[in-house]
Chains A and B, each alone.
Chain A
Amino acid sequence: MIIETLLFLMAGFVSAAVALTREPVKQAVVLSFYGLVLSLLFLVLQAPDVALSEIVVGAAVIPLMLFIAITKVERLP
């Protein structure tokens, strides 16, 4: 019960932090941390399959895709 409440609150705070970070590169890093918090939340809510997927997709692939897109956009004339 305590861990669930804690993780819910953290998810709320970190999602606000993601929205309030203005720099794209920093936002990608905070998004990666948000993916980790979400996957822990899913694990505690007894959905381990979803937690496994969320770790890889939310904490690794999405921020990487963002980085690559930012690099691409910065180099356009």
Chain B
Amino acid sequence: MSRGVRRVLFLCSALITGVLLFTAFTELPPYGTAIGGYAKLIGLAGMPERHVTNITTSVNFDYRGLDTMGEEYILFASIAALALLLRRGSDVTAQQKRAERGHLRWGRDEALAYVGRAWAAFAMLFGIYVVLHGALTPGGGFHGGTIIGSIGFSIFLIFGAKPFRSIQSDERIDIAGAVGAGMYVMVGAAGLIMGGRFLQNILPLGRTGDILSGGTISLINAGVGLEVGSAFTLLASYYLRETHADGKEGST
């Protein structure tokens, strides 16, 4: 199919799709309409029932905790698949390895290093804060975990490969991630053991506004934060090993 024919075909289908989309948009409810009664109900019932002020977290980890469990395991499984795919190959010749080393080298910027040290410490503190206050303020386990995980990327970019490798060991972060992922199922199973339902909120609910309020919500938050932080750091480590930037061999 030549280029002109393709262009005509695209324009015709774009025109039809555009007309359909436009008529659909004009029939939507006006901007800012609240849809659904469930949102109102959760907003009213979240705080008295679970003693948390972050309703999204209470829906994520308590009312629909099973769905969030599936999400966390998606992340966990994809990192495990990466670990499997990017394992070290042994059929690359030594000369090829030597030729590929030293591809990504850059000088260290002193101003960036100065700011980077302070920023990495602050970001770690902020990430832990977001994880711990999941039940109270916007954020939660997943969001704090991504903040903690992004520190690995930034330390590599600012300081180079050697400082990154010296503070990061794959095995320990693997163990941390597995502990975090397993904690979710353990808390759910504890609900079963106590004679209730899976992932039922069995711990005392505490006072609204405390850090340890919401019962199992805080515990699951910590587990999810641990797991997501370790998943992102492992992602950084695997990808950076892939580019031979740290001198070690990747999979090809």
Check if A and B associate.
yes
Which of B137-145, B158-166, B194-202 interfaces with chain A? B137-145
* Contact size range, A: 10 to 19
Residues on B with beta carbons closer than 8 Å to the beta carbon of A57: 146
Main secondary structure of the interface of A (DSSP, over half): helix
A-B contacts, 29 listed (Cβ < 8 Å): A48-B139, A49-B56, A49-B57, A49-B138, A49-B139, A52-B138, A52-B139, A52-B143, A52-B146, A52-B147, A53-B142, A56-B143, A56-B146, A56-B149, A57-B146, A60-B150, A60-B153, A60-B154, A61-B153, A61-B235, A65-B235, A65-B239, A68-B240, A68-B242, A71-B103, A72-B242, A72-B243, A75-B103, A76-B252
Residue of A at shortest CB range from B156?
Answer: A64
**In the complex the two chains form, what is the Cα distance from A75 to B56 in whole Å?**
45
Q: Choose from B130, B232, B243, B252 the contact partner of A61 (Cβ within 8 Å).
A: B232
Residues on B with beta carbons closer than 8 Å to the beta carbon of A64: 153, 236, 239
A interface residues (Cβ-Cβ under 8 A, vs B): 48-49, 52-53, 56-57, 60-61, 64-65, 68, 71-72, 75-76
* Contact size range, B: 20 to 34
**In the complex the two chains form, what is the Cα distance from A73 to B68 in whole Å?**
35
**In the complex the two chains form, what is the Cα distance from A53 to B56 in whole Å?**
14
Say yes or no for B174: interface residue by CB 8 A criterion. no
Residues on A with beta carbons closer than 8 Å to the beta carbon of B72: none
Residue of B at shortest CB range from A48?
Answer: B138
